[in-house]
Structure 1
Amino acid sequence: MKPGFGQPSDLRDGSQRRVLRSAAMALGAALSLVAAPLLTSGTASAVAWEQDYATPYAGDNPGCDYLSPGPQDSLACFVKYGDVLGVTYSDWFGDPMRTSVQWTNRLKNASGQWVTYRQGECFNDNGFSSYWSVCNKDFYESSSLNALGGRGSQLQIKACRLGVCASPSAWIDNNG
Protein backbone atom coordinates (compact mmCIF):
# COMPACT_ATOMS: atom_id res chain seq x y z
CA MET A 1 0.00 0.00 0.00
CA LYS A 2 1.33 3.41 -0.96
CA PRO A 3 1.37 6.14 1.70
CA GLY A 4 -1.40 8.69 1.07
CA PHE A 5 -2.15 12.10 2.44
CA GLY A 6 -1.82 12.06 6.20
CA GLN A 7 -0.15 8.65 6.25
CA PRO A 8 3.50 8.15 7.14
CA SER A 9 5.89 7.43 4.28
CA ASP A 10 8.23 4.50 4.20
CA LEU A 11 11.33 6.75 4.34
CA ARG A 12 13.50 5.65 7.17
CA ASP A 13 16.08 8.47 7.31
CA GLY A 14 13.92 11.54 6.51
CA SER A 15 16.28 12.67 3.74
CA GLN A 16 13.42 13.39 1.33
CA ARG A 17 11.73 15.59 3.95
CA ARG A 18 14.97 17.54 4.48
CA VAL A 19 15.29 18.07 0.73
CA LEU A 20 11.70 19.30 0.47
CA ARG A 21 12.11 21.56 3.51
CA SER A 22 15.32 23.04 2.05
CA ALA A 23 13.63 23.60 -1.30
CA ALA A 24 10.65 25.33 0.35
CA MET A 25 12.96 27.61 2.36
CA ALA A 26 14.95 28.48 -0.78
CA LEU A 27 11.74 29.26 -2.68
CA GLY A 28 10.51 31.47 0.18
CA ALA A 29 13.80 33.37 0.27
CA ALA A 30 13.74 33.89 -3.50
CA LEU A 31 10.15 35.17 -3.42
CA SER A 32 10.97 37.64 -0.65
CA LEU A 33 13.90 38.99 -2.69
CA VAL A 34 11.61 39.53 -5.67
CA ALA A 35 8.69 40.98 -3.68
CA ALA A 36 10.65 43.38 -1.43
CA PRO A 37 11.59 45.86 -4.19
CA LEU A 38 8.02 45.80 -5.51
CA LEU A 39 6.65 46.71 -2.09
CA THR A 40 9.14 49.50 -1.38
CA SER A 41 10.25 50.88 -4.74
CA GLY A 42 9.87 54.61 -5.10
CA THR A 43 6.69 55.03 -3.11
CA ALA A 44 6.62 56.65 0.28
CA SER A 45 4.49 55.09 2.93
CA ALA A 46 1.13 56.72 3.49
CA VAL A 47 1.07 59.52 6.02
CA ALA A 48 -1.77 59.40 8.55
CA TRP A 49 -4.28 62.26 8.42
CA GLU A 50 -4.51 64.12 11.74
CA GLN A 51 -7.84 65.68 12.63
CA ASP A 52 -8.24 68.31 15.35
CA TYR A 53 -11.02 70.58 16.57
CA ALA A 54 -9.99 74.15 17.29
CA THR A 55 -10.53 75.88 20.60
CA PRO A 56 -11.83 79.46 20.67
CA TYR A 57 -9.14 82.13 20.82
CA ALA A 58 -9.85 85.08 23.12
CA GLY A 59 -8.51 88.00 21.13
CA ASP A 60 -8.46 89.69 17.77
CA ASN A 61 -5.62 87.68 16.24
CA PRO A 62 -3.48 84.81 17.58
CA GLY A 63 -0.32 86.53 16.27
CA CYS A 64 -0.34 85.13 12.76
CA ASP A 65 3.01 85.05 10.98
CA TYR A 66 1.41 83.80 7.75
CA LEU A 67 -2.16 84.24 6.49
CA SER A 68 -3.91 82.11 3.89
CA PRO A 69 -7.18 83.56 2.55
CA GLY A 70 -9.88 81.01 1.85
CA PRO A 71 -13.32 80.73 0.30
CA GLN A 72 -16.00 83.23 1.31
CA ASP A 73 -14.04 85.31 3.84
CA SER A 74 -12.45 82.42 5.74
CA LEU A 75 -8.84 82.80 6.87
CA ALA A 76 -6.20 80.34 8.02
CA CYS A 77 -2.90 81.22 9.62
CA PHE A 78 0.27 79.82 11.13
CA VAL A 79 1.99 81.17 14.24
CA LYS A 80 5.60 79.99 14.29
CA TYR A 81 6.18 80.54 17.99
CA GLY A 82 4.21 77.72 19.60
CA ASP A 83 3.30 76.01 16.30
CA VAL A 84 -0.28 77.27 16.36
CA LEU A 85 -2.71 76.95 13.47
CA GLY A 86 -5.52 79.49 13.42
CA VAL A 87 -8.79 79.54 11.48
CA THR A 88 -11.64 82.06 11.39
CA TYR A 89 -15.31 81.26 11.06
CA SER A 90 -17.00 82.27 7.82
CA ASP A 91 -19.93 84.62 8.32
CA TRP A 92 -21.67 84.21 5.01
CA PHE A 93 -25.14 85.81 5.06
CA GLY A 94 -25.14 85.78 8.88
CA ASP A 95 -24.75 82.03 9.12
CA PRO A 96 -21.45 80.79 10.61
CA MET A 97 -20.22 77.90 8.51
CA ARG A 98 -17.68 75.23 9.34
CA THR A 99 -14.19 76.29 8.36
CA SER A 100 -10.83 74.59 8.65
CA VAL A 101 -7.14 74.88 7.93
CA GLN A 102 -5.51 71.96 6.11
CA TRP A 103 -1.78 71.63 6.60
CA THR A 104 1.17 69.58 5.43
CA ASN A 105 4.47 69.34 7.30
CA ARG A 106 7.54 68.13 5.45
CA LEU A 107 10.99 67.40 6.80
CA LYS A 108 14.37 67.23 5.17
CA ASN A 109 15.80 63.71 5.52
CA ALA A 110 19.45 62.70 6.04
CA SER A 111 19.97 62.74 2.24
CA GLY A 112 18.74 66.34 1.99
CA GLN A 113 15.42 65.52 0.29
CA TRP A 114 12.05 66.87 1.44
CA VAL A 115 9.61 64.19 2.62
CA THR A 116 6.01 64.63 3.77
CA TYR A 117 6.05 63.78 7.46
CA ARG A 118 2.65 64.83 8.83
CA GLN A 119 -0.58 66.29 7.49
CA GLY A 120 -4.02 67.05 8.75
CA GLU A 121 -6.87 69.45 9.30
CA CYS A 122 -7.95 71.74 12.14
CA PHE A 123 -11.72 72.37 12.19
CA ASN A 124 -13.44 75.46 13.55
CA ASP A 125 -16.93 74.47 14.68
CA ASN A 126 -17.17 77.30 17.22
CA GLY A 127 -19.45 79.56 15.18
CA PHE A 128 -19.92 83.08 16.53
CA SER A 129 -18.42 82.25 19.94
CA SER A 130 -15.00 83.31 18.69
CA TYR A 131 -13.82 84.85 15.42
CA TRP A 132 -10.47 83.01 15.64
CA SER A 133 -10.06 79.45 16.84
CA VAL A 134 -6.74 77.64 17.17
CA CYS A 135 -5.11 74.22 17.18
CA ASN A 136 -1.84 73.89 19.01
CA LYS A 137 0.52 71.55 17.18
CA ASP A 138 4.12 70.54 17.77
CA PHE A 139 6.29 70.60 14.63
CA TYR A 140 10.04 70.15 14.33
CA GLU A 141 12.01 73.39 14.04
CA SER A 142 14.20 73.78 10.95
CA SER A 143 17.36 74.02 13.06
CA SER A 144 16.75 70.84 15.09
CA LEU A 145 17.67 67.29 14.10
CA ASN A 146 14.39 65.68 13.07
CA ALA A 147 12.97 62.14 13.01
CA LEU A 148 14.27 61.57 9.46
CA GLY A 149 17.86 62.36 10.42
CA GLY A 150 18.06 65.76 8.73
CA ARG A 151 17.58 69.41 9.56
CA GLY A 152 14.72 71.28 7.98
CA SER A 153 10.99 71.61 8.61
CA GLN A 154 8.43 73.38 6.44
CA LEU A 155 4.69 73.85 6.58
CA GLN A 156 2.06 74.54 3.96
CA ILE A 157 -1.45 75.71 4.88
CA LYS A 158 -4.73 76.38 3.12
CA ALA A 159 -8.05 77.73 4.34
CA CYS A 160 -11.21 75.72 3.70
CA ARG A 161 -14.94 76.31 4.10
CA LEU A 162 -17.36 73.38 4.02
CA GLY A 163 -14.71 71.21 2.36
CA VAL A 164 -13.86 73.69 -0.42
CA CYS A 165 -10.24 74.78 -0.05
CA ALA A 166 -8.16 77.62 -1.39
CA SER A 167 -4.82 77.01 -3.06
CA PRO A 168 -2.06 76.06 -0.62
CA SER A 169 0.34 78.68 0.64
CA ALA A 170 3.99 78.70 -0.33
CA TRP A 171 6.16 76.48 1.87
CA ILE A 172 6.80 78.20 5.21
CA ASP A 173 10.15 77.55 6.88
CA ASN A 174 9.46 76.62 10.50
CA ASN A 175 12.32 78.38 12.22
CA GLY A 176 10.27 79.85 15.06
Structure 2
Amino acid sequence: MKRRVTVILAAVSAALTATATSAPASAADGRQDSTAIAADSVASDAECWRYEDSWSSNTLAVGCFSKSTDDIYVQDSTWNSVNTYVAWTNEIRSSDGSWGYFRSGTCVNAHNAPNWGVCYKDFYEHSTVNAHKGRGSRIMLSVCEDNILTPGSDCTYTGWIYNDR
Protein backbone atom coordinates (compact mmCIF):
# COMPACT_ATOMS: atom_id res chain seq x y z
CA MET A 1 0.00 0.00 0.00
CA LYS A 2 2.77 2.41 0.93
CA ARG A 3 4.53 1.82 -2.41
CA ARG A 4 1.27 2.41 -4.35
CA VAL A 5 0.71 5.75 -2.57
CA THR A 6 4.30 6.80 -3.34
CA VAL A 7 3.88 5.91 -7.03
CA ILE A 8 0.56 7.79 -7.23
CA LEU A 9 2.05 10.86 -5.53
CA ALA A 10 5.02 10.79 -7.90
CA ALA A 11 2.68 10.61 -10.91
CA VAL A 12 0.54 13.49 -9.62
CA SER A 13 3.66 15.56 -8.91
CA ALA A 14 4.99 14.93 -12.44
CA ALA A 15 1.64 15.88 -13.98
CA LEU A 16 1.45 19.09 -11.98
CA THR A 17 5.03 20.02 -12.89
CA ALA A 18 4.35 19.42 -16.57
CA THR A 19 1.17 21.52 -16.42
CA ALA A 20 2.82 24.38 -14.57
CA THR A 21 5.77 24.57 -16.98
CA SER A 22 4.00 24.01 -20.29
CA ALA A 23 4.34 26.78 -22.88
CA PRO A 24 1.59 28.02 -25.17
CA ALA A 25 3.17 26.01 -27.99
CA SER A 26 2.31 22.78 -26.22
CA ALA A 27 -1.33 23.72 -25.78
CA ALA A 28 -3.59 21.83 -28.14
CA ASP A 29 -5.25 23.86 -30.85
CA GLY A 30 -8.97 24.09 -30.29
CA ARG A 31 -11.57 24.79 -27.66
CA GLN A 32 -10.67 25.48 -24.01
CA ASP A 33 -13.66 26.25 -21.79
CA SER A 34 -13.24 26.86 -18.09
CA THR A 35 -15.12 28.00 -15.02
CA ALA A 36 -13.57 31.03 -13.37
CA ILE A 37 -12.16 30.71 -9.89
CA ALA A 38 -13.09 33.41 -7.40
CA ALA A 39 -10.93 36.54 -7.53
CA ASP A 40 -10.69 39.30 -4.93
CA SER A 41 -9.67 41.94 -7.45
CA VAL A 42 -8.56 42.59 -11.02
CA ALA A 43 -4.90 43.09 -12.00
CA SER A 44 -3.96 46.77 -12.00
CA ASP A 45 -2.86 46.65 -15.66
CA ALA A 46 -6.02 44.93 -16.92
CA GLU A 47 -8.09 46.58 -19.63
CA CYS A 48 -11.84 46.16 -19.11
CA TRP A 49 -15.03 46.22 -21.19
CA ARG A 50 -18.68 46.34 -20.09
CA TYR A 51 -21.78 44.64 -21.41
CA GLU A 52 -24.76 46.91 -20.75
CA ASP A 53 -28.49 46.36 -20.94
CA SER A 54 -29.69 48.11 -24.09
CA TRP A 55 -32.87 49.35 -22.37
CA SER A 56 -31.56 50.66 -19.06
CA SER A 57 -27.81 51.09 -19.75
CA ASN A 58 -27.15 49.13 -16.53
CA THR A 59 -23.90 47.18 -16.54
CA LEU A 60 -24.71 43.45 -16.59
CA ALA A 61 -21.19 42.05 -17.01
CA VAL A 62 -17.59 43.23 -17.02
CA GLY A 63 -14.71 41.42 -18.70
CA CYS A 64 -11.03 42.28 -18.40
CA PHE A 65 -7.73 41.10 -19.88
CA SER A 66 -4.28 41.51 -18.36
CA LYS A 67 -1.50 41.45 -20.97
CA SER A 68 1.17 40.97 -18.32
CA THR A 69 -0.34 37.75 -16.95
CA ASP A 70 -2.74 36.68 -19.76
CA ASP A 71 -5.50 36.40 -17.15
CA ILE A 72 -9.14 36.86 -18.17
CA TYR A 73 -11.46 38.32 -15.53
CA VAL A 74 -15.25 38.30 -15.57
CA GLN A 75 -17.71 39.94 -13.20
CA ASP A 76 -21.41 39.26 -12.88
CA SER A 77 -22.66 42.77 -12.18
CA THR A 78 -26.39 42.18 -11.69
CA TRP A 79 -28.42 39.96 -9.37
CA ASN A 80 -30.54 38.31 -12.07
CA SER A 81 -29.81 34.54 -11.79
CA VAL A 82 -27.95 34.59 -15.11
CA ASN A 83 -24.27 33.63 -15.45
CA THR A 84 -21.83 35.92 -17.19
CA TYR A 85 -18.87 34.83 -19.27
CA VAL A 86 -16.08 36.00 -21.51
CA ALA A 87 -15.71 34.17 -24.80
CA TRP A 88 -12.25 34.50 -26.31
CA THR A 89 -10.56 33.71 -29.61
CA ASN A 90 -6.79 33.54 -30.13
CA GLU A 91 -5.26 33.87 -33.59
CA ILE A 92 -1.56 33.61 -34.39
CA ARG A 93 0.37 34.68 -37.46
CA SER A 94 2.01 32.08 -39.69
CA SER A 95 5.43 32.36 -41.32
CA ASP A 96 3.83 33.81 -44.49
CA GLY A 97 2.25 36.63 -42.44
CA SER A 98 -1.36 35.44 -42.58
CA TRP A 99 -3.49 35.23 -39.42
CA GLY A 100 -5.07 31.91 -38.52
CA TYR A 101 -7.21 30.44 -35.77
CA PHE A 102 -5.23 28.85 -32.92
CA ARG A 103 -7.69 28.29 -30.07
CA SER A 104 -10.78 29.68 -28.35
CA GLY A 105 -12.84 29.18 -25.24
CA THR A 106 -14.97 30.67 -22.52
CA CYS A 107 -14.37 31.83 -18.98
CA VAL A 108 -17.65 31.44 -17.08
CA ASN A 109 -18.35 33.24 -13.80
CA ALA A 110 -20.74 31.23 -11.64
CA HIS A 111 -19.96 33.18 -8.45
CA ASN A 112 -23.02 35.48 -8.56
CA ALA A 113 -23.08 39.28 -8.48
CA PRO A 114 -21.04 41.30 -7.68
CA ASN A 115 -18.16 38.80 -7.52
CA TRP A 116 -15.20 38.51 -9.86
CA GLY A 117 -13.84 35.33 -11.37
CA VAL A 118 -10.53 34.74 -13.14
CA CYS A 119 -9.31 32.22 -15.71
CA TYR A 120 -5.56 31.81 -16.02
CA LYS A 121 -4.42 31.57 -19.64
CA ASP A 122 -1.06 31.51 -21.40
CA PHE A 123 -1.07 33.13 -24.84
CA TYR A 124 1.90 33.67 -27.15
CA GLU A 125 3.36 37.15 -26.99
CA HIS A 126 2.85 39.19 -30.17
CA SER A 127 6.62 39.57 -30.66
CA THR A 128 7.65 35.90 -30.19
CA VAL A 129 7.78 32.99 -32.63
CA ASN A 130 4.66 30.84 -32.24
CA ALA A 131 3.45 27.32 -33.14
CA HIS A 132 2.68 28.41 -36.73
CA LYS A 133 6.31 29.58 -37.11
CA GLY A 134 5.40 33.25 -37.37
CA ARG A 135 5.47 36.22 -35.03
CA GLY A 136 2.16 37.54 -33.83
CA SER A 137 -0.62 36.73 -31.39
CA ARG A 138 -3.94 38.47 -30.97
CA ILE A 139 -6.95 37.87 -28.78
CA MET A 140 -10.58 39.00 -29.14
CA LEU A 141 -12.91 38.96 -26.15
CA SER A 142 -16.70 38.95 -26.00
CA VAL A 143 -18.18 39.99 -22.65
CA CYS A 144 -21.55 38.26 -22.38
CA GLU A 145 -24.56 37.49 -20.26
CA ASP A 146 -25.85 33.95 -20.72
CA ASN A 147 -28.90 33.94 -22.98
CA ILE A 148 -30.24 30.41 -23.34
CA LEU A 149 -32.57 31.29 -26.23
CA THR A 150 -29.93 32.95 -28.42
CA PRO A 151 -26.37 32.16 -27.22
CA GLY A 152 -23.83 34.84 -28.07
CA SER A 153 -26.46 37.50 -28.70
CA ASP A 154 -26.04 39.37 -25.41
CA CYS A 155 -22.40 40.40 -25.79
CA THR A 156 -20.06 43.28 -26.38
CA TYR A 157 -16.89 42.71 -28.42
CA THR A 158 -13.42 44.13 -27.84
CA GLY A 159 -11.79 44.08 -31.25
CA TRP A 160 -8.34 42.53 -31.58
CA ILE A 161 -5.90 42.87 -28.67
CA TYR A 162 -2.26 42.38 -29.64
CA ASN A 163 -0.69 40.44 -26.82
CA ASP A 164 2.58 41.99 -25.67
CA ARG A 165 3.54 42.61 -22.08
Equivalences for residues 8-157 of structure 1 within 5 A: 48-59=30-41, 61-72=42-53, 73=59, 74-91=61-78, 94-128=79-113, 131-157=115-141
Unaligned runs of 5+ in 1: 1-46
Higher-Rg structure is 1
* Distance in 2 between residues matched to 1:76 and 1:64, nearest whole Å: 13
* Distance in 1 between residues matched to 2:76 and 2:88, nearest whole Å: 17
1:152 shift after superposition: 0.4
Identify the structure with the greater helix proportion: 1
* Distance in 2 between residues matched to 1:52 and 1:79, nearest whole Å: 17
**One-letter amino acid of the counterpart of residue 117, structure 1:** F
* Distance in 2 between residues matched to 1:132 and 1:76, nearest whole Å: 9
Unaligned runs of 5+ in 2: 1-28, 54-58, 148-152
Residue-by-residue CA offset, 1:36-77 (whole Å, 9 max, x unaligned): xxxxxxxxxxx6321100011113x33353222114421111
* Distance in 1 between residues matched to 2:81 and 2:44, nearest whole Å: 23
Change (3 A) 1:119 1:165: farther
Which residue matches 2:156?
167
**One-letter amino acid of the counterpart of residue 173, structure 1:** Y
In the TM superposition, structure 1's runs of 4+ consecutive aligned residues that sit over 6 Å from their partners are none
Q: How many residues align?
A: 126
State the TM-score, normalizing by the size of structure 2. 0.70
State the TM-score, normalizing by the size of structure 1. 0.66
Identify the structure with the greater strand proportion: 2
* Distance in 1 between residues matched to 2:45 and 2:117, nearest whole Å: 12
